[in-house]
Structure 1
Amino acid sequence: MTEFPNTPPGLMISAPASGTGKTTVMLGLLRALRDDGLTVQPYKSGPDYIDPAFHLAAAGRASFNFDTWAMDEGLLGGISAQMAGADICVAEGSMGLFDGVATRGQTGFGSSAETALAMGWPVVLVIDVGGQAQSAAATALGFKSYNPDLPFAGVILNRVASPRHERLTRVGMEQAGIKVLGCLPRRGDLKLPERHLGLIQAVEHPDLEAAIAGYADFLRENVDLDAIRAAARAGPALKPHPLPAPPAQRIALARDAAFSFTYPHLVTGWRAAGAEILPFSPLADEAPAPDADLAWLPGGYPELHAGTLAAATSFKAGLRDHAQTKPVHGECGGYMALGAGLTDKDGVRHEMVGLLGLETSYEKRKFNLGYRRAVLSHPIPGFDRGAALRGHEFHYSSILEQPDAPLAEVFDADGNPAAQSGSWRGHVTGTFFHLITGETG
């Protein structure tokens, strides 16, 4: 692979597992580096619809997903090109560093480690040392040595209970030859609010700016920012490639607290190709623009706003009018809203748009999580029948009834049939998986 001129150095912020505090470290680091006058390009490794919005708030620059399971080299190159003009790249990992799909005889396929290797970025491992001291070094040493080809910058020790606890933990790290880049004292106020899909959305945080500023101050006090900057490395960049093409010229895109899960590389690619994005808010009872060529409802949390959506008469009427002659597509939460009804956690049914016969329930919760490969039985905006798509599914809602024609044959990452096939009726299509990209070969 040929390196771009002026490719900025980068780092991967990862952890042994979820829940160790890497997101708060990531946000504090992004803001602290930005406050130091650097142009910081954030990234998220893996399929995450929520964290990039927090990254944008912290860095002042749009964050993009790298996904080595779903994306080919061309798309990875198109996304890596978004780092142009940055002084440093900082990526946040998903789950544990080596956690990924165990398929095709590989472990960690699609993992944060795989992203870091592809980009040449050293790993900063955030370790929760609560309940241990020198033993934390064994964890760090295991992660450092698990793949000797993976560059390893060092560790940030999180939730350190006392100066004595820090001394003991540092002794273990020194004995193991692990560089300690920072020690964060235990503080209960550093945890971001969560709900059933993980963090709340950035737009819902009661005072996100103050929280991020606090994280930055906390990191500046307890982390060696100069050492972290010095550890960043520029690897072989991927060849630039256009981002995905738009599915229409004028796209009415639902965007509010109920519908916000869109991958940044898709919307950026649509705009770069000259498409017009026309946002509208179903929660504010706004209809899609009458002259839009396509109405697109992304995922989100319609189950938390079902009563408001049921009462949004202008939104529902406008969407029905649009669907008489032009395409409408919904993903996950958007798919649920296009259905006939949605039952909330209290067992109350709310009437949705009714463009599909789908009945869903959040009262009867079922965990659905994983990569999806879909082969279309019917076209959707931007893709013909027979096209193979890659995406990700993450929701707790159950299907009570789905009377419409199936949209696709859907498989998990190992090629096993998945239950949620999506559906279509007239000009309306919907899926429970979030589109990442179409396969090119």
Structure 2
Amino acid sequence: MSQPGTAHVASYYAASANSYSERPALQEDIRCDVCVVGAGFTGISAALHLAEKGYRVVVLEAARIGFGASGRNGGQIVNSYSRDMDVIESRYGRETARALGDMAFEGNRIIRERIARYAIACDLKEGNLFAACNAKQMKALVEHKALWERFGNEHLELLEGRAYRSEIGSDRYVGALLDHSGGHLHPLNLVLGQAAALESLGGKVYEQTPVTSIEHGEPARLHTPNGVVVAERVVLAGNAYMKDLTPQLEGKSMPASTQVVTTEPLDEATARDILPTDRAVEDCNYLLDYYRLSADRRLIYGGGVSYGGQDPNSIEKVIRPKLETTFPQLKGVRVDYAWSGTFLLTLNRLPQFGRINTNVYYAQGYSGHGVTCSHLAGRLIAEVMEGQGERFDAFAGLPHLPFPGGRALSVPLTTLGAWYYRVRDALGV
């Protein structure tokens, strides 16, 4: 696993994170029941579920807890997956759609359970909106509501016509769908809080400890620069940062980055004007924009995708036009933070769960829906280690499709596809 930078990116989340002590790097050889590679949402969620079941758990992190997408994302609690149950059903059958549909709203409940049980201070707020930019998208939201209700989400409210203006102070949309069971929060504080909960149960987290190689076997041996972990079982949870440890998965996923800015604090009247009920919003474009207010009334606004994980020369220049198109009343607002976050994209936009040999498990590739699904993944990994693998296997049975030409050609081909969808978004078709 390659080692990224040694500190959190200079984001609003890092600047406003709850105080915590940096964990030491591993400096010895140790043994454990389960070794988790990666201290993001997937890894910490799995580790905490396992520790609650009495396992001796060690987490190895190449940088800092929440260094990757888990500590940099938009902070939105959005239900389901990057491809919804209708697509899953048409491609993989009714049984698979029902199995995944039964879990589609569980991740958000796990997050709330964690926050309540361990008193995690992460600015949790209720509700998120899907905003339609044209009539076609609005029709899709009507169908989306019916689909989610078929799978058990009874917390949806359709805002047709100008009714959405009670939620969003922008003329950009034609309507919206409000999911009262969604929400938003400070993601870095959420993962830091869960890491502290893990440690309270006896789990160990080592930062600045990249895994350089794995000797597969029973037990497995994970090598790091200054120590070895001997583990009965292993969880690979590095997601977009999992390099060189899983050659069998190379070419079946691609890193992509999204850009986020955070404004200066807004006065109360301006904040109430743009987001009167303080909910999170994402639009319905293929290359979507997403935004919300922080606890100190800053607008956190993200959008766009850079395939291959490359950052633009100026994040603010990319995002400011989007922000000011949505909210002209914020023209010229000062941007205090701008950063990029890398996530892992799969060809079918569905997560990749599975096993390597008999005792190494992995979960990755949430394709932009990682906040909730990563927490679900942690629970399912704990279940399968307890001998209850039906739910994990519902995901593991999904095909891991290779990108045409591998990663060498995936970036230009995906960029071309994104250009096509950008045109469609602009034309409203």
TM-score bracket relative to the smaller structure: under 0.3
TM-score normalised by the chain length of structure 2: 0.24
Greater RCO, CA 8 A, separation 6+: 2
The structure that is helix-richer by fraction is: 2
